[in-house]
Amino acid sequence: MAPSYVLLLALLLLLLLVAWERRRRARTARHVVVVVLGDVGRSPRMQYHALSLATRGFSVTLLGFCHSKPHDELLQNDRIRIVRLTELQRLAVGPHILQYGVKVVLQAVHLLWKLMCRESAAYIFLQNPPGLPAIAVCWFVGCLSGSKLVIDWHNYGYSIMGLVHGPNHRLVLLAKWYEKLCGRLSHLNLCVTNAMREDLAENWGIKAVTVYDKPASFFKETPLDLQHRLFMKLGRTYSAFRASSEPSDPATERSAFTQRDAGSGMVTCLHGRPALLVSSTSWTEDEDFSILLAALEKFEQLILDGESLPSLVCVITGKGPLKEYYSRLIGQKHFQHIQVCTPWLEAEDYPLLLGSADLGVCLHKSSSGLDLPMKVVDMFGCCLPVCAMTFQCLHELVKHEENGLVFKDSEELAAQLQMLFSKFPDPAGKLNQFRKNLQESKQLRWDESWKQTVLPLLMDMTPWTKD
């Protein structure tokens, strides 16, 4: 037995020595690890954190799943290195809770290994959700390495699980207990709304700082010539963007919305063009797209009844588990004046589409009632008015009758579409007034907001500023 104790003691001493060395290096490290236990390409806020950190002189390691391509600005930054995490699948056999438990344990081991193989970091930035098992793993690595753990609360993971399993399911209750316990282990907590900040303080005993989502600099109105190029590009794959009739001059380029003159090269909007309505989604349970489809059916009936309304092209972008389900529902509709397409856009094309659209629609209703839809932030960055599904704290972002409208059901949404698109395109209409209000609001962009809110908090925690 004695050799076993000696071996165990030797391993313990080795672990302590490694931890001491990592903590020593972390005190002077200009390195940050950003952890996303999800798809990096579909985690814009964490991409923005990485870019802002890199701009301030930090080297950044971004750990996450690499299913979708991040924005080029991130990929081309020499200070940012993306490290792929493997998304482990559940066991195919056994009770559901056992399958989930085994997946969590294996994911924890994998994440621990990846973190311990990285150079020492001053901070570990962690997106939550998902925080199981990431919060505990990142805290443990921080204890060994001397890294400060920063949790960025986008929502509550247990509330999202509750949409699938129900709020009283054992897994949901366990996840809530874990999130509440481990969430208190961080050195700094950021969150996305004042409502969430207050809830974290009152019900979780966690002090957080509100850092509102802000659009990145590349979310802006799209010039007409870039709109035309985008429509021609998308028209090669999606018929909704193709012209309904060919121009008389074969050299003239025409999309469903724009036309480029063969002689002058000038791009103009087509007379009688359809209106372009855009929504984006992760196709999850917290967005009910049957509401939009029902509103579109009512809008179609108004056109058939002789109302002065344009045809619509409705573009719903995104990936997610319910996309196939809603695609089948869309396929069962027999619209005559509405076309619906569901593309997955390249990261560079998404801002261009928002900047080209006439109206955005958001169906996000928040599993916790405490987060805000980042898609609306991006739309506002492009000066795109929005109709948004109402919920508890939406007023922190959408100002009804100022930068958009809020609705509670398909009837209200249909009425809003009718009002906004009446006599389209009408320069004196409500839609144009909302756009003008957004143009005049001079919104703060992400990096400037980050510099004012997050950077001072990091400097207060940074050891080298106190030496």
Q: Report whether 31 contacts 61 (CB < 8 A).
A: yes
pLDDT the model gives residue 467:
37
**pLDDT bracket for residue 366 (50, 70, 90):** confident
pLDDT the model gives residue 7:
67
Name 441's Cβ contacts closer than 8 Å, sequence gap at least 6. 403
Which DSSP state fits 147?
Answer: P
**pLDDT bracket for residue 423 (50, 70, 90):** confident
Q: Given a cut of 90, is residue 401 above it in pLDDT?
A: yes
Name residue, tokens 């080298």. Answer: 464
CA distance 201 to 105: 30
β 258-260/267-269 pair status: antiparallel
pLDDT the model gives residue 347:
85
CA distance 133 to 110: 11
pLDDT the model gives residue 464:
46
Residue 332 backbone phi and psi in degrees, to 5: -85, -10
**pLDDT bracket for residue 10 (50, 70, 90):** low
pLDDT the model gives residue 285:
84
Q: Report whether 286 contacts 370 (CB < 8 A).
A: no
pTM confidence score: 0.87
Mean pLDDT across the chain, nearest whole number? 90
pLDDT the model gives residue 16:
62
Least confident of 218-222, 256-260, 318-322, 402-406: 318-322
Amino acid at 6: V
Q: Report whether 108 contacts 88 (CB < 8 A).
A: no
Q: Given a cut of 80, is residue 57 above it in pLDDT?
A: yes
**pLDDT bracket for residue 4 (50, 70, 90):** low
pLDDT the model gives residue 141:
94
Cα 198 from chain centre: 22
Q: Given a cut of 60, is residue 344 above it in pLDDT?
A: yes
In three-state form (DSSP H/G/I as H, E/B as E, the rest C), the secondary structure along 162-183 is HHHHCCCCHHHHHHHHHHHHHH
pLDDT the model gives residue 284:
86
Element (H, E) at 11: helix 2-26
